[in-house]
Amino acid sequence: MIKSKYLVQQFSNKIKKIIFILFFLTLCSTVFADSKMDLGLEVYSNKAQCGVCHTLQAAGSFGDIGPNLDQMNFQMSQIIYAVTNGIGVMPPWEGILSYEEIEAVAYYVFQSTNK
């Protein structure tokens, strides 16, 4: 009887630790995601000025040279490729933006258009 109580208490403590770790990881990923969104918006709006050509409601941009991003359903890899290498009249941003900035603007566009 005492041994079974001990085992139940030990199991309960392990479950509590697992729940705490999952909560902590969720909290951390939200913080990192928000900073990536902030950087992505900064790149979109200022450094690369994507809104001059693209419409994206989340950024308050209404460009009409490139596609309306709100109407697209791109995957992250497609956005990263287009920003890095250019496509059509869109210039390549590799060498102008860091990989971190390219990834952040792609993440921003992806999260803003895939809700």
Q: What is the spatial distance between Cα 60 and Cα 26, in angstroms, rounded to a whole number?
A: 29
Q: What is the spatial distance between Cα 103 and Cα 47, in angstroms, rounded to a whole number?
A: 14
78 touches 64 (CB < 8 A): no
How much is the pTM? 0.71
Return the structure tokens found at 17.
């630790």
Series of mean pLDDT values for 10-residue runs along the chain (115 residues): 65 72 66 83 97 97 96 95 96 97 98 90
Q: Which region, left, alpha or beta, applies to residue 49 given φ > 0 means left and ψ of -120 to 50 means alpha? A: left
Structural domains of the chain, with CATH: 2-113 (1.10.760.10)
